[in-house]
Amino acid sequence: MLNGKTILLIIGGGIAAFKSLDLIRRLREEGVRVIPVLTKAAEEFVTPLSVSALAAEKVYRDLFDLTDEAEMGHIELSRAADLVVVSPATADLLGKMANGLANDLASTLLMATDTPVLAAPAMNVRMWEHPACQRNVAQLAADGIHFVGPEKGMMACGEFGPGRLSETPDIIGAIRAVLTDGPLKGKHILVTSGPTHEPIDPVRYIANRSSGAQGTAIAKALRDLGATVSFVTGPADVPPPRGVKVIPVETAKEMKDAVEAALPCDAAVFAAAVADWRVASESGSKIKKVKGELPVLTFAENPDILAGVSQMEQGRPTLVVGFAAETDDVISHATAKRKRKGCDWIVANDVSPSTGIMGGSENAVVLITERGADEWPRMGKEEVARQLAHRIADHLTQV
């Protein structure tokens, strides 16, 4: 399935650059055309001649090479491929990508491209763990850059930990996943996830026990079927998925604004546990403890984001899916909720503490549609997500 694809391979300057020779060889065995680009630093680790010989292509190296500009400008070069792979993605390259720098051929191509980008980081453990690098990676993941690795292991510098370049078969597996034409390819799906935090004052807030695990799993499953996912998440326990556009928010009001900004979409899945109320009497400064006096909180109702999107008169997503966390009479409450909110489907679950579902790894859901209630057996949240993503794909491809 990779046969006939073109990959622009940007080779960064790290000790793992030599592994790019093996990557080129294996990709060519699969029928992939590999157009190689070397950074200046990469030339210290691999020679342009060996890269060119293995790729059977010209190696691109210099931004100001006029012959190349005449033959194929950097804009065209950046878009000639089905995928841009950065391997090894050094701390320097990731920093440039995250900050929009474009001062050499590799970084300019990465700024100019409109094709998907897969980065395979490799660097010293301390560099990988450095807050600056982690900030850059988080930013790039939020920008929709795909990642493979780094792996944990013994490093060339003698240290042990995360920083090793992924093995060639794993990089090829990741390339295959990005290039897969899943049933949701070309569809934009919005997912809300996690709890919201509603401030009482600058240091205190009201929250709930949602971990964000189910919403995250749904975003991953939709991404794996080829969807472009916008993931609006409250402060969750689990990290957001890679390869989706992450929009972090804190309060219900911020979530509503982020959802509206992310529209239009083909489907929207509202898995967030949005606080029903916010503190109307929110204090701009920390509320002081006064002996013998208790603070009084007054509440205001939060906007119902799901109901708002479900009842849009123009530009409503084809499919709107809500969640219902109930502690009793799950099916009848959720069926009534589906009607009240105006959404197409409700994924209902029993979140009584005895079920261990809230914050746990399993879920037992009932899918309520216009045809009635479909009770699913108890299974892992990842599996619930996978099955739901397939149902969504079936629905969107039928209509």
The residues that touch ligand C5P, with contacts defined as CB under 6 A, are 192, 252, 270, 272, 274, 276, 302-306, 322-324
At closest approach, how far in Å is the CB of 243 from ligand C5P?
A: 23
At closest approach, how far in Å is the CB of 340 from ligand C5P?
A: 8
Closest CB to ligand C5P among residues 22, 260:
260
Residues 6+ positions from 373 with CB-CB distance below 8 Å: 331, 334, 335, 348, 366, 367
At closest approach, how far in Å is the CB of 33 from ligand C5P?
A: 45
Closest CB to ligand C5P among residues 183, 303:
303
At closest approach, how far in Å is the CB of 193 from ligand C5P?
A: 9
Residues 6+ positions from 149 with CB-CB distance below 8 Å: 120, 121, 122, 164, 165, 166, 170, 171
Q: Is residue 163 within a helix (H) or strand (E), and if so which, with residue range?
A: strand 160-164
Please tell me the number of Cα atoms within 13 Å of 47 on its side-chain side: 3
Q: Which of 133, 157, 265, 343 is catalytic?
A: 157
At closest approach, how far in Å is the CB of 235 from ligand C5P?
A: 15
313 contacts 319 by C-beta, under 8 angstroms = no
Q: How far apart are CA 262 and CA 275, in angstroms?
A: 20
At closest approach, how far in Å is the CB of 309 from ligand C5P?
A: 8
Of 258, 204, 254, 211, residue with least CA distance to 231: 258
Q: Please, what's the b/e burial string for 343-377 (b: 16 or more CB within 10 A of its CB; e: otherwise)?
A: bbbbbbbbbeeeeebbeeeebbbbbbeeeebeebe
5 contacts 33 by C-beta, under 8 angstroms = yes
Q: Which DSSP category does 60 fall into?
A: B
Token pair for residue 62?
A: 């210099």
Asked if 133 is an active-site residue, the reply is: no
Q: How far apart are CA 105 and CA 84, in angstroms?
A: 13
Closest CB to ligand C5P among residues 38, 334:
334
Closest CB to ligand C5P among residues 114, 328:
328
Q: How far apart are CA 108 and CA 290, in angstroms?
A: 59
Of 256, 296, 294, 279, residue with least CA distance to 202: 279
Of 120, 126, 147, residue with least CA distance to 223: 147
Closest CB to ligand C5P among residues 226, 322:
322
In DSSP notation, 239-264 reads PPPTTSEEEE--SHHHHHHHHHHH--
Residue 193, SS3 per DSSP: strand
Q: How far apart are CA 223 and CA 246, in angstroms?
A: 12
Closest CB to ligand C5P among residues 21, 324:
324
At closest approach, how far in Å is the CB of 209 from ligand C5P?
A: 14
| CA quadruple 378, 184, 341, 273: dihedral sign | positive
Closest CB to ligand C5P among residues 128, 270:
270
Closest CB to ligand C5P among residues 306, 367:
306
Residue numbers annotated as active site: 157
